[in-house]
Amino acid sequence: MHPKMKELKERLTEVDDLNSATWLLSWDQQTYMPPGGAEARGRQMATLQHLAHEKFTDDRIGYLLDDLQREYADEPYASNEAALLRVTAREYAKATQVPPDFVVEASNHSSAIFSAWTTARPDNDFARLRPMLEKTLDLSKRYATYFPGHAEPIDPHIENSDYGMDAAIIGALFADLRAQLVPLVQAIAERPLADDSVLHQHYPEAAQIAFGEEVARTLGYDFKRGRQDKTYHPFATKFSINDVRITTRLDAEFLSAGLFGTIHETGHAMYEQGVDQALEATPLASGTSSGVHESQSRLWENLVGRSRNFWHHFYAPLQEQFPAQLGNVSMDTFYRAINKVEPSLIRVEADEVTYNLHVMLRFDLERALLNGQLAVADLPEAWNARMEADLGLVPPDDRDGVLQDVHWYAGFIGGAFQGYTLGNVMSAQFFAAAQQAHPTIRDQIRTGSFDTLRGWLTENIYTHGTKYSADEVIRNATGSPLSIAPYMAYLHGKYGELYGL
């Protein structure tokens, strides 16, 4: 190895070690930390983050990148070295283009508004947050100015989580999707509501955990390189390719929360566990974008986990785990219950069909705010109007409206939401391509075998880490650019049958 490449990798490993340590501190904060630890923990995480930023933005890294990009100019695009230099140079440019003072100001504001939100939301008091949210908007616009050459101020924010995308691409895609989803939701709303009361029974926690872990293991999550713990907000987190953990939140009175939450996080975690070991401790060693990441959580949660084929295998074991609750419930009744569609106020509780309408609402409002077409003062009204237009519901208060998600109250406005719907769209495109490559996948799922599907996903997506952009991954894996067609075909097929459309 070129000695400068060796030095670059050593420096990047140091940064990765600091980041991984920060993530462990955060995991512990959310799982086992006693309440007394909170104050010091916040400070410790800030210290490690600051050091990681300082180490990553060191001039020496810029010098090494410049020099090595010349040295490795003839390396093939797909080689680990070329990819490392390409992706690291991109991240380095981004990290060094923002003045350190701005980073501190934004981070301090973020802590302040988050803290205010934790009481303003229960108090249903948007007015109290308004001036702070205006500052968030101002900071979000100023952030965009450090990245000139973009068409819209939301674009640099999008690029941070979904590199290669911008508001024009996503806006067009979302407009198409919305035009097709709203009528579908309306058509379903005209049919009799599915009955999901079987899910709303008492399901003891220990049995839920046991079943969830059995499912995760069968799907292919490697517990020798991971584990599951309980948290208030479920998440997946990575400390190395060989230590990728998930957390779950159980609701003893509602089966879906823990069960599909576990499958969702298992999807995220299998992506991270599937990255090529050669990329360990480099910026290449994680999922490539929020959209592609979400495509994996949603593929496993919805396209696999809420399918008839999946329950063909797993329903009997579930009944065995919960004989009193499900012993006399037919699989068809259960299948209809877990796929109940009903317009609702809260994004994170929304079903598969209406979910994207919540996301697109947020994306469009972010874009309008950043473009100066919408004022923060008018945000609650705009939110409610759009809810009525798309879902036929008006939130009774801001608590379940504009205050419901933490995202705008813990970071920038812009870029935080689109990945959820991009992920849904991608999930169907990936799943269709996998089935085209291996037509036996459906039958295998019916028998509880997921190796072929996971193998295809690993080979086409997981192993590459961030080596390729989302767009490259999609084209390489499916032979086509991103398209909503497979997703709409999936929804129409599944829900057409379920609701007799």
Q: Which residue numbers are catalytic? A: 265
Options 97-105, 128-136, 216-224, 345-353: segment touching its own copies (CB under 8 A): 216-224
| H-run or E-run covering 89 | helix 80-97
Q: In the bound complex, what is the minimum distance in angstroms from residue 466's beta carbon to its own copies? A: 18
DSSP 199: G
Q: Is 184 helix (H, G, I), strand (E, B) or coil?
A: helix
225 touches its own copies (CB under 8 A): yes
Residue 60 in the binding site for its own copies (CB under 8 A): no
In whole angstroms, what is the distance from residue 269 CA to residue 275 CA? 10
Asked if 222 touches its own copies (CB under 8 A), the answer is yes
CB of 245 to its own copies, least distance (A): 8
Q: Is 67 in the site for its own copies (CB under 8 A)?
A: no
- Find how far residue 38's CA is from the centre of its chain: 26
Q: Which stretch binds its own copies (CB under 8 A): 30-38, 368-376, 413-421, 457-465?
A: 30-38
Report CA-CA distances (Å) from 296 to 131, 158, 292, 304, 454.
38, 19, 7, 10, 10
Does 48 interact with its own copies (rule: CB under 8 A)?
yes
Chosen residue from 190, 224, 324, 500 binding its own copies by CB under 8 A: 224
Q: Binding marks (x or -) toward its own copies, 239..278, rule CB under 8 A?
A: xxxxx-x---------------------------------
Binding mask 412-441 for its own copies (x = CB under 8 A): ------------------------------
Bridge partners (DSSP) of residue 229 are 247
Does 32 contact its own copies by CB under 8 A?
yes
Residues 306-365 that bind its own copies (CB under 8 A): none
The pair of three-digit structure tokens given for residue 267, joined into one six-digit string: 């999807």
Give the Cα separation of 399 and 329 in Å (integer). 36
**Contact 106/139 with Cβ under 8 angstroms?**
yes
* 171, 221 Cβ separation under 8 angstroms: no
Is-contact 273 244, C-beta < 8 A?
Answer: yes
- Cβ-based nearer residue to its own copies, 58 or 472: 58
Q: Is 226 in the site for its own copies (CB under 8 A)?
A: yes
Cα distances from 67 to residues 9, 32, 57, 64, in angstroms, run: 14, 45, 16, 5
CA distances from 361 to 74, 267, 329, 355, 407 (A): 45, 25, 37, 10, 14
- 280 interacts with its own copies by CB under 8 A: yes
Q: Which is nearer to its own copies, 19 or 469 (CB)?
A: 19
Q: Tell me: does residue 11 bind its own copies (CB under 8 A).
A: no
70 lies in the binding site for its own copies (CB under 8 A): no
Q: Is residue 227 at the binding interface for its own copies, with CB under 8 A as the rule?
A: yes
Dihedral sign for Cα atoms in the order 402, 406, 409, 414: negative
Q: What Å distances lie between residue 192 and 199, 339, 456, 500, CA to CA? A: 18, 13, 38, 10
Residue number, 29 or 449, with CB nearest to its own copies:
29
Residues in the chain: 501
Distance (Å, rounded) from C-alpha 96 to C-alpha 65? Answer: 13
CB 438 within 8 A of CB 452: yes
Stretch that binds its own copies, among 201-209, 233-241, 291-299, 426-434 (CB under 8 A): 233-241
Q: Output 13 or 97, the one with its CB closest to its own copies.
A: 13
The helix (run of H) or strand (run of E) holding residue 53 is helix 38-56
Instruction: Tell me if 43 contacts its own copies by CB under 8 A.
Output: yes
Closer to its own copies at the Cβ: 34 or 148? 34
The residue range among 38-46, 145-153, 193-201, 482-490 that interacts with its own copies, by the rule CB under 8 A, is 38-46
Structure-token pair, residue 501: 């459309």
Q: Interface with its own copies by CB under 8 A: which range of 119-127, 185-193, 226-234, 310-318?
A: 226-234
Q: How many CB atoms lie within 10 A of CB 183?
A: 10
Selected range binding its own copies among 35-43, 146-154, 169-177, 428-436, rule: CB under 8 A: 35-43
Give the shortest CB-19-to-its own copies separation in angstroms.
10
Instruction: Give the binding-site size for its own copies (rule: CB under 8 A).
Output: 38
Q: In the set 2, 28, 100, 278, which binds its own copies (CB under 8 A)?
A: 28
Hey, what are 347's tokens? 């994004």
* Cα(430)–Cα(292) distance, integer angstroms: 10
Q: State how far the Cα of 40 lies from the Cα of 309, in Å rounded to an integer.
A: 49
Task: Judge whether 398 and 380 are in contact, CB under 8 Å.
Answer: yes
What x/- string results for residues 116 through 155 when contact with its own copies is judged by CB under 8 A? ----------------------------------------
Which stretches of the chain bind its own copies, using CB under 8 A?
13-14, 17-18, 20-21, 24-25, 28, 32-37, 39-41, 43-44, 47-48, 51, 222-227, 229, 239-243, 245, 280-281
